[in-house]
Chain A
């Protein structure tokens, strides 16, 4: 049989030097993301720009999101947030596990903020859900991880009960979780 390449190709073309990143994470579920976020917004990516960080030691990308609906936080027309990695000139930095935002893509993002810095995505890619078109309307992918009760529950791969959900159902869940306990 034809050989199967098992490489994760984490970079495209590097004209000079191109760092990549690989990470180990603390997990988050939808409840934690909803509670911790200062802004949860659904919108469309209108622009991305990669820049050097202030200390010139790294590259990050500033994403501009045109907000369609704020599920938590003050309503505003657009929001900018930053994600690690990007390309400036011939330097490309890839941060394995960091979300990538193609212009035009619709997303729901859970954003945190510290001080006056630009907001950041909570939990790296754990705080991003893509809004994608399906046969019966808009759905959210990947399926959200959400506990259904107070007891410990194993998270089983391939669970038929965990599927992509309609956008309106997801948003209602998030709004409820963001409000916290009554």
Chain B
């Protein structure tokens, strides 16, 4: 990647901020950072985003297997019709992910100390200009991996995990649309996920996360919208309160009664305000729930005042999302456990 001259970088950042400030509403958790007194999203300002794959392999996954699986995952995101995000494969590199070489690189690394981390995405941001320079993804080679079309028992599906991590590489945070259970033989496992960006992986052998869900599509389309996307979709917004006070970190899911699409977001300030954008117009049922079954640290900064002590709540009225507009303020009162 060629370094961008400083003055040009500043102009790009300013344009991005203006676009964000005029957006009607926001959906999905996005990765961002404070820079020079401003809050910026981790978002590529130029597409297609170039990437390289590392010349690494693990048992069962050759370098070419790895490259093909990763390419498929990138293509899945790029093929979302309502999003303008795009990627450009630049081939094989001998560099490893995590090296500060201004190249976004994907590859295997052995991290036995990260005993339950399958993969991770890291970003490199220019602290002078605020520009996102590179994003690397490492896959933890201490786990067994597979690229088999139908999946392999006991092995984690590389394409599924890559799809999740490429969502991060694109700037998306985690989604809370997922359910887990205690297994009969002990341990815990995912039984359903309404988003590839749910942070807990399906059990080894599953290929369920090779397909994006409505929540993922809303998120990537909100971050990189095709022209007209905001006009064709709508949003729902409101407040979540408990004992008359705003609730921070309540998960709000919107279920489309006609299509079954499920899109979620959180109340994200001390007033308990939430906004879910990128919704197909039509009637929705809302569900509000605490994030008490996953690690809050995977969603919010450690000092975020997330409230966990309340019961699941379904607001009584159906919310109609208009095309190109907002539902109007929905007030939701939750009660403690």
Q: Which residues of A contact B (CB under 8 A)?
A: 1-29, 31-32, 36, 57-58, 82, 84, 90, 93, 95-100, 112, 114, 117, 120, 122-126, 141-143, 145, 147, 150-160, 162-163
A155-B188 contact, Cβ under 8 Å, with A8-B300, A21-B121: yes
- Which residues of B are interface residues toward A (Cβ below 8 A)? 25-35, 39, 41-42, 96, 98-100, 112-128, 133, 143, 161, 164-165, 168, 173-174, 179-184, 186-191, 199-201, 237-238, 251, 265-269, 271, 273-275, 289-293, 295-303, 308-313, 329, 337
Q: CA–CA, A155 to B292, complex, Å?
A: 10
**Would you mind naming 15 contact pairs between A and B with Cβ atoms under 8 Å apart?**
A7-B41, A9-B34, A11-B33, A12-B33, A16-B127, A19-B124, A24-B119, A96-B298, A120-B114, A125-B295, A142-B308, A145-B182, A152-B181, A154-B179, A163-B337
Would you give the shortest CB distance from B189 to chain A, in whole angstroms? 7
Q: Shortest distance in angstroms between B146's beta carbon and chain A's nearest beta carbon? A: 15
Whether A112 contacts B182 by the Cβ 8 Å rule is no
Q: Are A4 and B112 in contact (CB under 8 A)?
A: no
Chain A interface mostly helix, strand, loop or mixed? loop
Q: Which residues of A contact B143 (CB under 8 A)?
A: 26
Residue of B whose beta carbon sits closest to that of A20: B123
Nearest B residue to A57, CB-CB: B98
The answer to whether B184 and A150 have CB atoms under 8 Å apart is: yes
Given contact pairs A7-B30, A122-B115, A100 touches B174 in the complex (Cβ within 8 A): no
**Do B34 and A13 touch across chains, with their CB atoms under 8 A apart?**
yes
Question: What number of A-B contacts does a CB cutoff of 8 Å give?
Answer: 253
Bound Cα distance from A90 to B125, whole angstroms? 12
Given contacts A16-B127, A114-B113, A157-B291, 11 further A-B contacts (CB under 8 A): A2-B273, A6-B30, A11-B33, A17-B124, A19-B122, A27-B190, A29-B186, A97-B199, A97-B295, A125-B297, A142-B296
B275–A4 touching, CB < 8 Å: yes
Q: Is there an interface contact between A24 and B181, defined as CB atoms closer than 8 Å?
A: no
Tell me which residues across on chain B come within 8 A of A143, comparing CB atoms. 292, 308
Which are the 7 A-B pairs with shortest beta-carbon distances? A7-B32, A147-B182, A158-B312, A100-B302, A11-B33, A22-B168, A97-B298
